[in-house]
Amino acid sequence: MSKPLSFALVAGEASGDLLGAALIREIKQHHPDARCYGIGGPMMMAEGFESLFPMERLSVMGLVEVLGRLKELLGIRKQLRETFVADKPDVFIGIDAPDFNLPLERMLKSAQIPTVHYVSPQVWAWREGRLKKIRRSVDHMLALLPFEAKYYQGHGVPVTFVGHPLADQIAWNPDAVSARNALDIPVNKPVVALLPGSRKAEVARLGALFLETASLLRKQQPELQFVVPCANEKRKQQLLPMLEQYPDLDVTVAVGETSNMMAAADAILIASGTATLEAALHKRPMVISYKMAPLSFAILSRLVKVEHVGLPNLLASKPCVPELLQDDATPEALCEAMIKALSDNSWRSQLIEEFTGIHQTLERDASALAYGAVMSVIGKYDATV
C-alpha cells in the first residue's frame, strides 16, 4: 500500500487562509488520508490542517514594520525548512506572503521538493526583478487574475489561471434582507460595513479612522447602522476599546460574518486588500482606504508602477471605486465619499455591471483547477502519481 500524500502549505493572513481551506477541502475529496500541515489559520485548521506556528506571526505588512520582526520571521522560516526537508512532503504550496514563501520555496526546490505558489506576487505592479527569483523558486504559479497568467506566460513561468474561490462561493445577487435577518439587525434601516483590515497593524491605523468616519456619517444620516466583521477574536478585542469612544454609534461586531455583513451593507468602507474583491463580488459600492508607516508609504509609492491599488479598479474596464490613501484618508474625505456611495443610484448601477463582469471572469472552480495543477507538478517529480 502506498503511503498517504503529504501537502505542506504556508499561509500568512486571512485571505490566504481562505484559499488554503478551499484547496485542502478539494485535496481531501480526492485523498481523505492526506496530511496537510505547515502554517495556516482557523479556516484551514477546520479542514484538518496541522499548523506548526500561529498564522498571525507571519501577518505583517510594510517595509519598516517587517524589520522589527525580521529575526523572528527568519527563525520560523529556518524551522520550517528543516522540518520540510526532513519530512520530504510531496509538494510545498506557498499561499501569497511572497517575501516569506519565495525564499523558502527556493530552498525546498533545491532539495527536490516540488513547489507551487498560490497567488501571484504583484511583479506587474512593482519589483519586476523578482521574476528571476520566481523562476528559480517555483515549479508552477497559480494566478487568481487573468492578466497575471498572461504576464507569466510571456516571461516563461509555468502558470494556471484558476480564478478565485470566492467567485465560486458568493451568490450572483446576494440577499441583503436574509443577511440582515441572520445578523439580527433591522432590515428597514441603511447599513454601512466597516472593514479596517485583518492585521493588527491595519486595525491600529484604520480602526479609529473608520469609526470617526462612521460618527460623521451618522450625524448626517442618523438612521445609519454599522456592521464590523473581524478576522478573528484578537482583532475583535483590539477593536472593542475603540468602539467605547463612540457610544452613540449603532454597531454590530462579529467574528466570521464577513460575507453576511457585506451582503447586508448598502455601502462598504474598506481597507485595500483581498477583501475589496469580496466586496466587489457582493456587488456593493465601496470606498477603499489605507494607511501605513510614513516611511514605508514613501518608499512603496516610488516603486509601484500602477495608478490604482484596489483590486476592483485593477480588474474593471475602467477605474470605478474611490481610493483614499495615507494623507488623503481623513474622516471628512472618507465621509464625503461614503455619502456618495450611499446615495448615488446611477453609480451603483454602473458598479453592479462592472462587478458582475468581474464575477463572470473569476468564477472558474478555482480550487479544482488549483488541485489539478498541484497534482500535475507532483506527477512531474514522481511518475507513479
Express each pLDDT in 272-286 by its tens digit: 988 999 999 999 999
Whether residue 324 is found in the same domain as residue 267: yes
Instruction: Report yes or no on 285 lying in a domain.
Output: yes
Cross-strand partners of 229? 254
**Is the predicted pLDDT of residue 188 greater than 60, yes or no?**
yes
Same domain, 199 and 340: yes
* Higher pLDDT pick, 66 / 347: 347
Show the cell assigned to 280.
Answer: 466587489
Sign of CA dihedral 180, 181, 185, 190: positive
- Per-residue confidence at 384, pLDDT binned at 50, 70, 90? very low
Q: Three cell numbers at 137?
A: 523558486
Angstrom distance (rounded) from CA 245 to CA 212: 9
Note whether residue 252 is domain-resident.
yes
Grid cell listed for 198: 485583518
DSSP 314: H
- Counting the structural domains of the chain, the total is 2
- Same-domain pairing of 180 and 130: no
185 & 195 share domain = yes
Can you give the residue range of the structural domain that contains 223?
Answer: 169-362
**Residues 43/24, Cβ–Cβ less than 8 Å:** no
Pair 222, 371 in one domain: no
Residue 290's domain is classified under what CATH number? 3.40.50.2000
> What strands lie across the sheet with 140-143, from one edge to the other?
50-54, 35-40, 6-11, 91-95, 115-118, 140-143, 159-161
> Are 105 and 252 contained in the same domain?
no
Q: Which residues contact 115 (CB under 8 A, 6 or more apart)?
A: 91, 92, 93, 94, 105, 108, 109, 137, 138, 139, 140, 377
Return d(Cα 195, Cα 284) in angstroms, integer.
13
Query: What pTM, to 2 d.p., does this model score?
Result: 0.85
pLDDT for res 298? 57
Structure confidence by residue, pLDDT tens digits, 318-328: 889 999 998 89
DSSP string across 78-94 = HHHHHHHHHH--SEEEE
Beta-carbon contacts of 332 under 8 Å, excluding residues fewer than 6 positions away, are 216
Claim to verify: residue 65 and residue 200 sit in the same structural domain: no
Answer yes or no: do 60 and 48 share one domain.
Answer: yes
Question: H or E element: which one contains 187?
Answer: none
pLDDT in tens, 17-73: 999 999 999 999 999 999 999 999 999 999 999 999 999 888 765 555 555 677 888
What are the backbone angles phi and psi of residue 331, rounded to the nearest 5°?
A: -55, -40
**Residues 144/121, Cβ–Cβ less than 8 Å:** no
In a domain, 81, yes or no: yes
pLDDT tens profile 96-153: 888 899 999 999 999 999 999 999 887 555 456 678 889 999 999 999 988 888 888 8
**Distance of CA 299 to CAs 127, 266, 324, Å?**
12, 35, 18
Statement to judge: residues 51 and 148 lie in one domain: yes
Domain assignment of residue 1, yes or no:
no
Q: Which three cell numbers stand for residue 7?
A: 501537502
Distance (Å, rounded) from C-alpha 146 to C-alpha 258?
Answer: 25
Q: Are residues 237 and 354 in the same domain?
A: yes
pLDDT at 307: 66
- Whether residue 100 sits in one domain with residue 249: no
